[in-house]
Amino acid sequence: MGADIGVTGLAVMGANLARNLARNGFRVALHNRTVAKTDALINSYGSEGEFVRTETLAELVESLERPRRVLIMVKAGGPVDAVIDELTPLLDAGDIIIDAGNSFYEETRRREADLRQKGLHFVGVGVSGGEEGALNGPSIMPGGSQESYQSLGPMLEKIAASYNGEPCCAWVGTDGAGHYVKMVHNGIEYADMQVIGEAYDLMRSLAGIEPAQQAKVFREWNTTDLASYLIEITSEVLEQEDELTGRPLVDVIVDAAGQKGTGRWTAISGLEVGSAVTTIAESVFARSISSQRELRKITRDVFPAGVNQAVSAQEFYGTKESQQDFVEDIRKALYASKLVSYAQGFDMLTAAGAEYGWSLDMRTIASLWRAGCIIRADLLDTIMRAYETEGETPANLLLAPEFTEAISECLPAWRRVVAAAATYGVPAPVFSSSLAYYDSLRADRLPAALTQGLRDYFGAHTYQRIDKPGTFHTRWSEDRTETEV
């Protein structure tokens, strides 16, 4: 009997997915460039299920049942192409190559088109949940042909996380759709972490609440509508003491956030598909600024902290009672900003669906994110319900009845927090830009009218009028009369 699936690339994510498959009763053929890794996996975890040891990709392919399914878990970019190039001549029409890494969706689209020409299926699968999720049940977002999903889906659904008995795995769309949805997941993940970071910073800088105390605040928040994995692990990180110095660990970690690219891709794609993902983009920029350590240092020397602060924060939020009020305000600002980031994420999914011809179903996508992934949160179940009623899809999530009330309820607190951040010089880019997004959407008139006037002035770019159809230009450098163009 051949193996059900082959896994090549046995670094921790690949190894854990292979183990997860084996634990769920699938016969898994293993391959890694360095055979020692394959042996190490079999030595340590061989008893977890049925593994087939192979030394070359040819052996891996040989060992598989047809249609063959080969899951690649290597570094995104060139390494994926290298494995595909080596695999392709070994496979037959109808076989399936699965890329479960964080690949760029445009590359997935290209690879899928190439391989389709050769009669092969290429499935770009978004997998979220980190190492632990890969082993015990990740959220899985597969793209590619529906035909390939018929063969692959049941396996993926079996190893995925589940929420109320429903697997957090479903076909999301053709070619790059799976990786696109995972990319947006990561963009939201960036925003989720940034709003948590801003809440932490404001509580610390303006209300003087130390990390260990904040761990309790976040734990408390985790029992509210903010309940989520990232809020939960925030308490754990904040209460961690550094072994070496006894200080809060967060105080000895260098304040420069890394990024592998998925957040940046989300921001770029938002621009490309014409969706204003300001909250997500601002979260990416916040990481970029954090990493400009040298520039931050010299700027700090020129503009030392405290400059432009009218009164001390203590004066404002000094009493215990107002400190508590402030913390509650921050919780609301966090929740409202989080809603905006999800609204933007789903908005860009809608725009991308139209752009790339994917029939993305927002309800399904929300359902996949309810468990297993990094952004898992109670909120996702509410979002799923917001998309449930057929024919009544909200134009933007903020307009779903589930959320309009929440936004209104949070609004005064949200404004107070953004105002306090600006007054006392604490950066809160995502709290502020999310509020600006909300205010922009609801504004009666935007200054874009003036922008249009200026564009027409210097570049004859024309404008439309509010009172009659047509396209117009004012002869700015002549007699300033208007002409229809």
Least separation in angstroms between CB 437 and ligand 6PG = 23
Q: What is the DSSP string of 45-85?
A: HGGGS-EEE-SSHHHHHHTBPSSPEEEE-S-TTHHHHHHHH
Q: Does 16 bind ligand 6PG (CB under 6 A)?
A: no
Nearer to ligand 6PG, 95 or 189 (CB): 189
User: Does the protein bind ligand 6PG through residue 304 (CB under 6 A)?
Assistant: no
Residue 186 as a binder of ligand 6PG (CB under 6 A): the answer is yes
Could you tell me the smallest distance in angstroms from the CB atom of residue 264 to ligand 6PG?
8
Does 76 show up as a binding residue in the annotation? yes
Side chain identity, residue 172: V
Q: How far is the CB of 318 from ligand 6PG (least distance, A)?
A: 37
DSSP classification of residue 398: G
124: contact with ligand 6PG by CB under 6 A: no
Name the DSSP letter for residue 403.
H
CA distance 353 to 182: 14
Length of the chain: 485
Q: Which of 190, 85, 141, 176 is nearest to 370 (CA)?
A: 141
Tokens of 167: 């697997």
Answer for which of 67, 130, 425, 427 binds ligand 6PG (CB under 6 A) is 130
| Cα separation values, 109 from 105, 119, 388, Å | 6, 15, 29
The residue (of 61 and 141) whose beta carbon lies closer to ligand 6PG is 141
Q: Which of 16, 63, 102, 214 binds ligand 6PG (CB under 6 A)?
A: 102
Shortest gap between Cβ of 3 and ligand 6PG (angstroms)?
Answer: 26
Rounded to 5°, the CA angle 17-287-425 comes to 145
Asked if 259 touches ligand 6PG (CB under 6 A), the answer is yes
Residues 6+ apart with CB under 8 A from 230: 189, 192, 193, 196, 374, 375, 377
Residue 468 falls in the annotated catalytic set: no
Q: What is the b/e burial string over 165-176, where b = at least 16 CB atoms within 10 angstroms of the residue's CB?
A: eebbbbbbbbbb
Interface with ligand 6PG, residue 374, by CB under 6 A: yes
Q: CB–CB of 163/152 below 8 Å?
A: no
- Tell me whether residue 322 is annotated as binding: no
The helix (H) or strand (E) run that includes residue 89 is none
384 in Cβ contact with 373 (< 8 Å) = no
Joined tokens for residue 276 = 């204003």
CB of 451 to ligand 6PG, least distance (A): 33
Tell me how far apart the alpha carbons of residues 346 and 362 are, in angstroms, rounded to a whole number: 7
Q: Does 258 bind ligand 6PG (CB under 6 A)?
A: yes
Maximum C-alpha span of the chain: 87
Q: Where does 24-170 have alpha helices with state H?
A: 35-45, 57-62, 78-87, 105-117, 130-136, 146-159
Listed ranges 65-73, 128-136, 202-210, 305-313: which one lies at the site for ligand 6PG (CB under 6 A) = 128-136
Helix (H, G, I), strand (E, B) or coil at 296: helix
Report how many residues bind ligand 6PG under the rule CB under 6 A: 13
From 189, 198, 239, 282, active-site residue:
189
CA distance 143 to 464: 41
Name the residue with the smallest CB distance to ligand 6PG: 128
Q: Is 482 among the catalytic positions?
A: no
Pick the catalytic residue: 112, 182, 198, 239?
Answer: 182
Amino acid identity for residue 324 in this structure: Q
Q: Of the two residues 260 and 465, which places its CB atom closer to ligand 6PG in the complex?
A: 260
Closest to ligand 6PG by CB, 24 vs 259, is 259
- The residue range among 65-73, 258-266, 274-282, 313-321 that interacts with ligand 6PG, by the rule CB under 6 A, is 258-266
Q: Residue 263 or 394: which CB sits closer to ligand 6PG?
A: 263
Cβ partners under 8 Å of residue 107, min gap 6? 76, 77, 80, 176
Task: Tell me if 31 is assigned to a ligand binding site.
Answer: no
* 77 scored as a contact of ligand 6PG (CB under 6 A): no
Beta carbon nearer to ligand 6PG, 103 or 344? 103
Residue 189 CB, shortest distance to ligand 6PG, in Å, is 5
Under rule CB under 6 A, residue 263 binds ligand 6PG: yes
189 lines the binding site for ligand 6PG (CB under 6 A): yes
User: Applying CB under 6 A, does 337 fall inside the site for ligand 6PG?
Assistant: no
Q: Contact with ligand 6PG (CB under 6 A): which of 9, 14, 129, 353?
A: 129
Report the C-alpha gap between 196 and 262 in whole angstroms: 19
Residues that bind ligand 6PG (CB under 6 A): 102, 128-130, 186, 189, 258-260, 262-263, 373-374
Active site residues: 182, 189
- Enumerate the known binding-site residues: 9-14, 32-34, 74-76, 102, 128-130, 185-186, 190, 260, 287, 455, 461
